Structure 1
Amino acid sequence: MSLRVIQFSTGNVGRHALRSIIRRPGLELVGVHANSPGKVGRDAAELCGLDTATGVVATDDVDALVALKADCVVYTSQAESRPDAALREITAFLAAGTNVVGTSLVWLIYPPHADAWLREPIEAACETGGTTMYVNGIDPGFSGDLLPLAALSLSERADEILVQEICDYGSYDDAEFTGASFGFGTTPDRVPPLFLPGVLASIWGGPVRLLADRLGVVVDELRERHEAWTATQTIDCTMMTVAPGEVAAVRFAVEGVVGGRAAIIMEHVNRLTSAAAPDWPTPPGGRPGVHRVVIKGVPGVEINTHVGDEYTDHNEAGVIATAAKAVNAIPAVCAAPPGLTHLSALPVAQVQGLMP
């Protein structure tokens, strides 16, 4: 019997998740949420670029979607800037008996790290509805949990774990959220939302603590660092146009301190075009992006992961991969015990991809 699924939002990530749900054997699309008046009433297939109508049209009526009592909702709506509204929507589904897989509310990548204001209402809703919630993506997510765990499985001893996303974001059409979060196109004296005290640790501290817990070590503190690089000439790319003197690259990290030293490090090097911040780390082989883990220890392990190819832009591929992380987890989450869960508690092989 197919699992009945709702797609919540049809934006950058949601449209890919929607397409995957429609095409996936074992899943039945029963509802679609859209905020935009221009999307409400349109068939799901039209919203994700498929030709054959599904008969399922988008609605902005959350109560009607909750009343469907689907097996799972894929929640990809941007939530970090509207956490209270997102929490109300998610807990309504959970309490009504619908499991949730999500790519937003990234504080929940590792629930034990999340603050009580977010964790406790969700746990209560899961208990009421006998449901499960799981949040993951490519980063935060895959690059900070599954990838280093794979590398650690090859390690006799790990002295330091470095996880990096190094990416040219120039082709990513998301200045409103991603660009603003990084501070791209602003002057370096302005502090973007991502670099306010505690924000980096709230997001990437979860993966740090997940790895520490798996290794049986105690994180003494989470340290944040960040720096910006300003353009020396005009940079014109899909994301935005950046004038000389404005921020065109950022480098930031969360460091898990163990025994007085930075032992588990989640670092980002994000730029607009390959010409930005030429002295900072770059992806290997001239690629535009990489998710990398480097284990210093015995024997020492490095894994470089690239998404995208000659047909798919790396930023578009990253969005597709984020959607896939959620959709692929649906069967495992629906079968899991009630509560907030995470990668370590689910089957590792969450592979449901289509073959030709």
Structure 2
Amino acid sequence: MHAGTGLTGREALGAIIDDPALELVGVAVTTPQKVGVDAGSLCGRDDVGVTATDDVDAVIALRPDCVCYCATAVRREEHAVEDIARYLRSGIDVVTISTIPLIYPPAAPQEWLDTIGSAADQGGATFYATGGEPGFISLNVPTALLAGAGRVDAYRMDLYAIQLDAQYPIWDVLHESMGFGKADGYVPARIAYGKVEADWSTVVRYVADILGLTLDGLEVDWETVLTPTDLDTAIGVVPAGTICAHRWRLAGTIDKQPIVAVQYFAAVSSAPWPSHWPDPGRLTGGMSFHISGRPGFRVDFEFDKAEIGDTVNPGVTATAMAVVNAIPAVVAAAPGIIELPLSGPSIVTRRATPRPAPATTRKQELHHG
């Protein structure tokens, strides 16, 4: 069963429909216009005979094995947690991308853990939170990289959104959230409202924990860049003297030194790049993992551009896939909260495209004969 049909939710719903190992039995929505609409139509597929409803009791009565919960939690975090708990109390497993701090439960808000844990115990159900970023990119990828590490002096993940106006051309969002076009002194929303700590402290604490480090604390630092000239961008003109880029860093410290850190860079196209910022190389919208030690290494991660005609950002699709691909493993898991990121051969897509078998050569025939 699926809940939430926003941008990422639609991607997840389509993936459930397309997955040969999964059967969709219900869809829960909150938008009146979507009630009664076939699930296939909600995500650009042919009709599948499952219609959306806003009656949660009705979908619970279907007794699905699992709910893929993709409803937004923005400014309704407590409501989202209670929604999830309701399914768990009914004995239904839940996978979600909505509650970001729960991607690493040991660092999540205790009141959320109490609610989710109690509900899972009551219903004998399993809960798992994941996503893209934060999510499998910031948890599973460094876990794999650190399998080849020796002495680790410091770990840092840099995230780059260098042409954000082209990647997400919505003025209201980028003007308010990122501060693009705002006067000097404006505090970007994710800094002002503590979203950096809320969403990313789980990642910093997870990496520190798997490295066996005890952090003294977390520190946030940030800065903005002003454009010296008017910049023509996909969201309009960013006037000279206003913000065209910003950087923030959340670091876990030991003896006042940043040991585990996440750092984010956002800029509009053609924005000046400060010389003291790290060189992104060829990245325009990706991540760079840095491990200082013996051995030390850097690994860059970037999604390919979407296929022709596909208007969905590949990062959105990957976020949806991370939660859908986990469903069979979560259903098979013991009841309770899954505390570590799932990985391994059981958490992969079931929609790989078969390739035709290669033609047998004379040499192969002789070898096998």
Report the TM-score, using the length of structure 1 for normalisation. 0.89
SS in 1 for 2:23: strand
2:290 is matched with 294
Tell me, yes or no, if the aligned pair for 1:166 and 1:281 is still in contact at 8 Å: no
* Alignment match of 1:339 (pick from 333, 336, 340): 336
Structure 2: distance between partners of 1:283 and 1:19: 34
The Cα of 1:242 is off from its aligned counterpart by: 5.3
Query: Is 1:90 paired with 2:90?
Result: no
1:136/1:252 CA distance change after superposition, 3 Å: same
| 2:10 corresponds to | 15
Structure 2 Cα separation of the partners of residues 281 and 37 of structure 1: 48
- The separation in 1 between residues aligned to 2:209 and 2:170, in whole angstroms, is 34
Aligned-pair Cα RMSD in Å: 2.3
Alignment of 1:72 onto 2:43: no
- Change in 2 beyond 3 A, CA 1:230/1:43: farther
1:215 & 1:308 partners in 2: Cα distance? 31
Distance in 2 between residues matched to 1:342 and 1:242, nearest whole Å: 45
Aligned 1:1-356 pairs, distance under 5 A: 6-50=1-45, 52-167=46-161, 168-170=163-165, 171-172=167-168, 180-196=176-192, 198-231=194-227, 232-237=229-234, 240-241=235-236, 243-244=238-239, 245-273=241-269, 275-279=270-274, 280-281=277-278, 283-285=280-282, 287-309=283-305, 311=307, 316-344=313-341, 346-349=342-345, 350-356=347-353
- 1:222 Cα offset (Å): 0.5
CA distance in 1 between counterparts of 2:82 and 2:237 reads 37
User: TM (normalized to structure 2)?
Assistant: 0.86
Does the aligned pair in 1 maintain the 2:21–2:350 contact within 8 Å?
no
Deviation at 1:277, TM superposition (A): 4.1
Question: 2-side partners of 1:166 and 1:77: how far apart?
Answer: 26
Deviates more, 1:142-151 or 1:242-251: 242-251
Tell me the matched-pair count: 345
**What amino acid maps onto 1:335 in structure 2?**
A
Deviations 1:69-92 (A, max 9, x none): 211111122203111221221111
Following superposition, the deviation at residue 197 of structure 1 comes to 6.2
Larger radius of gyration: 2
Find the aligned partners of 1:26 and 1:310 in 2 and give their Cα distance.
25
- C-alpha contact (below 8 Å) 1:219/1:256 kept by paired residues: yes
Q: What is the distance in 2 between the residues matched to 1:251 and 1:169?
A: 13
Q: Is 1:151–1:301's contact at 8 Å kept on the other side of the alignment?
A: no
Asked whether the 8 Å contact 2:2–2:26 carries over to 1, the reply is yes
Structure 1 range deviating more: 312-321 or 68-77: 312-321
Q: CA deviation at 1:166?
A: 0.8
- Residue 68 of structure 1 and its aligned partner are, at CA, apart by 2.2
- Cα distance per residue 1:220-248 (max 9 Å; x no partner): 100011222344424432xx435314433
Alignment partners' CA distance in 2, 1:67 and 1:175: 43
CA contact 1:162–1:266 (8 Å) conserved in 2? yes
Q: For residues 33-82 of structure 1, what are the alpha-carbon distances to aligned partners after superposition, in whole Å with 9 as ceiling and x for unaligned?
A: 223233222111111112x2111122222232233221111112220311
Amino acid at match of 1:19: G
- Partners of 1:146 and 1:310 in 2: CA distance: 23
Secondary structure, counterpart of 1:297 in structure 2: strand
Q: Hey, what's the Cα distance between the residues in 1 that align with 2:174 and 2:85?
A: 26
SS at match of 2:34: coil
Shift of 1:198: 4.2
- Partner Cα separation in structure 2 for residue 176 and residue 334 of structure 1: 40
Alignment-mate amino acid for residue 126 of structure 1: A
Letter of the 1:115 partner, please give it.
P
**d(CA) in 2 for partners of 1:111 and 1:130?**
18
- In structure 1, how many angstroms separate the alpha carbons of the residues matched to 2:278 and 2:7? 27
SS in 1 for 2:168: coil
Give the C-alpha shift of residue 271 in structure 1.
2.2
Cα distance change on mapping 1:178 and 1:229 into 2, 3 Å: same
Measured in 2, the distance between the counterparts of 1:125 and 1:9 equals: 21
Offset at 1:191? 3.0
Unpaired runs of at least 5, structure 1:
1-5
Q: Does the Cα contact within 8 Å between 1:147 and 1:293 map onto a contact in 2? A: no
CA, structure 1 residues 156+131, in 2 after alignment: closer, same or farther (shift >3 Å)? same
SS in structure 2 at match of 1:13: helix
* Alpha-carbon distance, 1:127 to partner: 0.6
Letter aligned with residue 154 of structure 1:
G
Aligned residue for 2:360? none
Q: Secondary structure of the residue that 1:27 maps to in structure 2?
A: coil
1:190 Cα deviation (Å)? Answer: 3.6
Q: Distance in 2 between matches of 1:139 and 1:310?
A: 18
